[in-house]
Amino acid sequence: MDIQGIKKQAVAEKVENIKEDQCYTLVSIGSLGKVKGYDLLIEAFYKLVKQGVTNLRLFIIGDNRESNEDYKKVLTDLIVEFKMSEYIRLLGFKSNPYPYLNQADAFVLSSRKEGFPNVVLEALALNKPCLVTDCVDFSGIVENGNNGLIVERGSVSSLMRGLLDIQEIKLREDFTYINFDYNEWFNKLLIK
């Protein structure tokens, strides 16, 4: 992975400012589809807001896959139904999502299942704590309480706890991203 290239792209262009004073900003990047768990993430936000947690903002970058139903409409309808447009925005596809991720306080992956989500490595390369579901084995990548949190997939309550707890994780300015060894990771999968 080209960490320096990601860092260069993160500052290569001016984009809409997504930061608000006193708010904790999360970005999620991925194609829109039920497998990504965005419906669960929106519901988790909704339940937190009902409990009085109003400092969170979520920006979802991505668009429908050709083979999917119009999942963007499903998500838009949920945002409208839950009256969450102040807290959650769908930004659509971005050819360079890194400037948005660079502005965020953290990255979130709410997937029900995944292959291997490179975007987690990209977020870590930009020194962003990662809230991820246990949709894959993140051992050696996301270390609970150190550079992120791993929560139970398919669980709104786990996402809610994660959204609260991720705010406490601050990566040091001198955080160094360790190059991830794909071969080692895949070999561990084969051994299991």
pLDDT above 80 (res 181): no
Lowest mean pLDDT among 17-21, 61-65, 66-70, 169-173: 66-70
pLDDT above 80 (res 172): no
Helix H, strand E, coil C: the string for the chain is: CCHHHHHHHHCCCCCCCCCCCCCEEEEEECCECHHHCHHHHHHHHHHHHHCCCCCEEEEEECCECCCCCCHHHHHHHHHHHCCCCCCEEEEECCCCCHHHHHHCCEEEECCCCCCCCHHHHHHHHCCCCEEEECCCCCCCCCCECCCEEEECCCCHHHHHHHHHHHHHCCCCCCCCCCCCCHHHHHHHHHHC
pLDDT above 60 (res 178): no
Lowest mean pLDDT among 30-44, 65-79, 99-113, 154-168: 65-79
pLDDT above 60 (res 27): yes
pLDDT digits (tens, 9 = 90+) for 82-96: 999 999 999 999 999
Segment 136-165 mean pLDDT = 93
Lowest mean pLDDT among 45-54, 150-159, 172-181: 172-181
Q: Which residue has the higher pLDDT, 124 or 27?
A: 27
The whole-number pLDDT of residue 67 equals 62
